[in-house]
Amino acid sequence: MSAKFSFGRTGHPTHREAHMHRKQKGENRKRRTSFGEYVLLILIGVFAFMTAGELHNRGIPHKWATAIMGTLVTFGIVIYLCRRMWNRWAFWAAISICLAAHTIVTWVFFQYVLYGAGRFSILFWYPVMLVEIFALLIAVKRIHDKLTGTHETIKLSF
């Protein structure tokens, strides 16, 4: 897309025209980003569906399928919301630390607290996942700040 400028005496576009041109370029970039995000969401959905089917086919107990899918959904949402931080090493280090802690706590809960349960519906796990998403957003941000020594405000992208 090309923009037409009416040049004044200085040979440069007016402030308003230059602003409109930047705005048009930004809208095009945003549209491409949105398309890529939609593709990513579709791929995540297909992956989750295939994972659930494969867990069922392999005879994995239902409670462990709930734990795995709960982990994938929770961390998937947090990673998606923090996509502006994807190019930062400290973000991925914080996610890894949180994933390790989550895995240990989840394993202990499903192994010992739900010892006799062969089935545990993910519907019962949704409230835990919702609380965990908010806790993870806070924990990832704090760990990121500790690793980098910065205290910046991060915008979440919905």
pLDDT digits (tens, 9 = 90+) for 65-124: 888 889 988 999 999 889 888 899 999 999 999 999 999 999 999 889 888 876 778 888
**CA 141, CA 132: separation in Å to the nearest integer?**
14
Q: Where are the domains of the chain?
A: 11-59, 61-158
Residue from 83, 108, 90 nearest 33 by CA: 83
Give residue 36's identity as a one-letter amino acid code.
G
- Mean pLDDT rounded to a whole number for the chain: 80
Structure pTM?
A: 0.68
Q: How far is CA 18 from CA 6, 12, 13, 32, in A?
A: 10, 9, 6, 22
